[in-house]
């Protein structure tokens, strides 16, 4: 069995492609069942965030093409439209990729910590669906451990850089004094919570939290002296909002062009700064065409983020070294699985030969042969049977000039050391 990662991210695909291939929480369980129903896929986990959609799988040969077609087909897209944006990593490269993702080295924001929580959620979802097995289970646990090591042994997360931080930093550039502004936060997940914290820290005048579940919105708003509304109430409060940051898991936009146009009229065309962090998008792209609207998507934040990353570059290099070492460790464990199977088969064969020779020896004892003669027969016959196949293979290797097998046997049985001790 092999490891395979197939996916796309903010580096390989624009947001309009990423949102078409996103797996919402309401469909991911069915997707995992469908994925592991493929002939070549034995285990599977799907990681779907605003910046990436990735499939981690334990597979048989020939799985990559089947998985490529499955991904596009599941979302009802033509294979030719999706395929140019996909990347694939196998075996050690797959291990390294997951370790880099979990440690925040492959994120839009270098070293951002939110991705680890998203990876853990993806893993737990796969466990709950029964689509993970021994190989992926061990891989993800290894990734969590390595990500913790990277966090504790490097300064990768020392400065407050995140998508939420970038959004608030951009708002500060547009509105020099946030104390006079009202922020409408759409959603109540981790990214929105981070945005709320950054806004509150920068003295924003008022925070409104809109969410499908009002109780969750209230819990979040209460932490920052804000107030909560439902998604259906957004139109009533949008005219008060100077800053809008949206990040929900909705498969469809929650804020349309018409609603924003009506809000602008009530505001007498005072501008609104909007950031749509969600994938699929929460704000219709056409909103960005309106005058007095400054709409940024997650991809537009890259320049703001880049300004805050320079302090993390040295830490990232150190993190890459840690990941390289631990990738090798995991591949060594995989190779040990192959050895374990070989050892088990060899032991079983040896036990079968032992039982066969022992039965013959017992019959000789029952026939009255002297014990010493039977013991000699047992030792001689068992030795010959155990060594027959390896001896034949070594003779063939010598005839073929296969030095690799001869050297391996020498190391395995420590023959050279034995000869040295027996001939002082």
Could you list the pLDDT tens digit for every one of the 424 residues in the chain?
A: 899 999 999 999 999 899 999 999 999 999 999 999 999 999 999 999 988 999 999 999 889 999 999 999 999 999 999 999 999 999 999 999 999 999 999 987 778 788 999 999 999 999 999 999 999 999 999 999 999 999 889 887 766 567 888 888 889 888 888 999 999 999 998 889 989 999 999 999 999 999 999 999 999 999 999 999 999 999 999 999 999 999 998 989 999 999 999 999 999 989 999 999 998 899 999 999 999 999 998 888 877 777 666 667 778 888 999 999 999 999 888 887 766 667 777 788 888 888 888 899 899 988 889 989 889 988 888 888 888 888 888 788 788 887 777 777 777 666 555 544 555 5
From the annotation, which residues make up the binding site for substrate?
49-52, 107, 112-114, 118
In-domain check, residue 148? yes
In-domain check, residue 216? yes
215 in the same domain as 257: yes
Q: Cβ of 120: how many Cβ atoms within 10 Å?
A: 15
Tokens standing for residue 394:
């070594």
Instruction: With both helix axes pointing from N to C terminus, report the angle between 63-74 and 28-35 in degrees, rounded to the nearest 10.
Output: 150
Q: Is 50 a catalytic residue?
A: yes
- Of the candidates 120, 141, 158, which is a domain's last residue? 158
Which of 132, 111, 123, 122 has its CA nearest to residue 33? Answer: 132
CATH at residue 120: 3.30.460.30
> Residue 227: which domain range?
163-305
In-domain check, residue 132? yes
Q: Is the pTM of this model over 0.75?
A: no
By the 8 A CB rule, do 32 and 121 touch? Answer: no
342 in the same domain as 206: no
347 in the same domain as 238: no
237 in the same domain as 202: yes
284 in the same domain as 201: yes
As for how many domains the chain has, the answer is: 3
In-domain check, residue 142? yes
Q: How many residues does the chain have?
A: 424
348 in the same domain as 283: no
- Of the candidates 289, 305, 321, which is a domain's last residue? 305
By the 8 A CB rule, do 150 and 319 touch? Answer: yes
- For position 311, what pLDDT does the model report? 65
By the 8 A CB rule, do 132 and 32 touch? Answer: no
- For position 92, what pLDDT does the model report? 95
147 in the same domain as 168: no
User: What's the chain look like in SS3?
Assistant: CEEEEEEEECCCCCHHHHHHCCCCCCCHHHHHHHHCCCCCEEEEEEEECCCEEEEEEEECCCHHHHHHHHHHHHCCCCHHHHHHHCEEEECHHHHHHHHHHHCCCCCCCCCCCHHHHHHHHHHHHHHHHCCCCHHHHHHHHHHHHHHHHHHHHCCCCCCCCCHHHHHHHHHHHHCCCHHHCEEEEECCCHHHHHHHHHHHHCCCCEEEEEECCHHHHHHHHHCCCCEEEEHHHHHHHHHHCCEEEECCCCCCCCECHHHHHHHHHHCCCCCEEEEECCCCCCECHHHHHCCCEEEEEHHHHHHHHHCCCHHHHHHHHHHHHHHHHHHHHHHHHHHHHHHHHHHHHHHHHHHHHHHHHHHHHHHHHHCCCCHHHHHHHHHHHHHHHHHHHHHHHHHHHHHHCCHHHHHHHHHHHCHHHHHHHHCC
Distance in angstroms (rounded) separating the CA atoms of residues 326 and 422: 41
From the annotation, which residues make up the binding site for NADP(+)?
187-192
Tokens standing for residue 324:
């390289």
Distance in angstroms (rounded) separating the CA atoms of residues 45 and 325: 24
Distance in angstroms (rounded) separating the CA atoms of residues 391 and 422: 21
299 in the same domain as 270: yes
- For position 183, what pLDDT does the model report? 97
By the 8 A CB rule, do 43 and 132 touch? Answer: yes
In-domain check, residue 201? yes
192 in the same domain as 214: yes
From the annotation, which residues make up the binding site?
49-52, 107, 112-114, 118, 187-192
CATH at residue 279: 3.40.50.720
């Amino acid at each position: 069995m092999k490891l395979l990662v197939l996916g796309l991210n903010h580096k390989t695909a624009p947001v309009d492609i990423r949102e078409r291939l996103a797996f919402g929480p309401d469909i991911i369980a069915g997707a995992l069942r469908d994925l592991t129903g493929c002939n070549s896929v034995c285990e599977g986990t799907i990681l779907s965030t605003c910046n990436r959609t990735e499939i981690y799988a334990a597979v048989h040969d020939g799985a990559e093409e089947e998985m490529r077609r499955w991904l596009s087909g599941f979302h009802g897209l033509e294979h030719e439209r999706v395929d140019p944006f996909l990347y694939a990593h196998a075996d050690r490269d797959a291990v390294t990729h997951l370790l880099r993702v979990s440690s925040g080295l492959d994120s839009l924001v270098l070293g951002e910590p939110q991705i680890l929580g998203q990876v853990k959620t993806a893993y737990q979802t796969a466990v709950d669906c029964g689509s993970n097995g021994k190989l992926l289970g061990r891989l993800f646990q290894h990734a969590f451990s390595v990500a913790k090591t990277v966090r504790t042994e490097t300064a990768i997360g020392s400065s407050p850089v995140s998508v939420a931080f970038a959004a608030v930093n951009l708002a500060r550039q547009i509105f020099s004094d946030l104390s006079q502004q009202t922020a409408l936060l759409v959603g109540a997940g981790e990214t929105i919570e981070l945005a709320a914290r950054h806004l509150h820290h920068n003295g924003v005048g008022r925070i409104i939290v809109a969410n499908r579940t009002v109780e969750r919105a209230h819990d979040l708003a209460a932490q920052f002296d804000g107030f909560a509304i439902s998604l259906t109430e957004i139109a009533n409060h949008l005219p008060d909002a100077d800053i809008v940051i949206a990040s929900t898991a909705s498969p469809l936009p929650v804020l349309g062009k018409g609603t924003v146009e009506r809000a602008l009229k009530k505001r007498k065309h005072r501008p609104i700064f909007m950031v749509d962090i969600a994938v699929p998008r929460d704000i219709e792209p056409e909103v960005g065409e309106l005058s007095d609207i400054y709409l940024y998507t997650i991809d537009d934040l890259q320049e703001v983020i880049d300004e805050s990353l320079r302090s993390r570059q040295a830490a990232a290099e150190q993190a890459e070294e840690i990941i390289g070492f631990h990738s090798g460790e995991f591949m060594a464990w995989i190779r040990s699985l192959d050895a374990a199977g070989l050892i088990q088969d060899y032991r079983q064969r040896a036990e079968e030969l032992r039982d066969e020779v022992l039965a013959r020896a017992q019959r000789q004892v029952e026939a009255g042969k002297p014990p010493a003669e039977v013991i000699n027969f047992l030792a001689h016959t068992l030795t010959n049977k155990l060594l027959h196949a390896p001896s034949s293979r070594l003779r063939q290797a010598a005839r073929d000039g296969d030095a690799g097998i001869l050297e391996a046997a020498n190391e395995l049985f420590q023959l050279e050391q034995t000869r040295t001790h027996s001939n002082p």
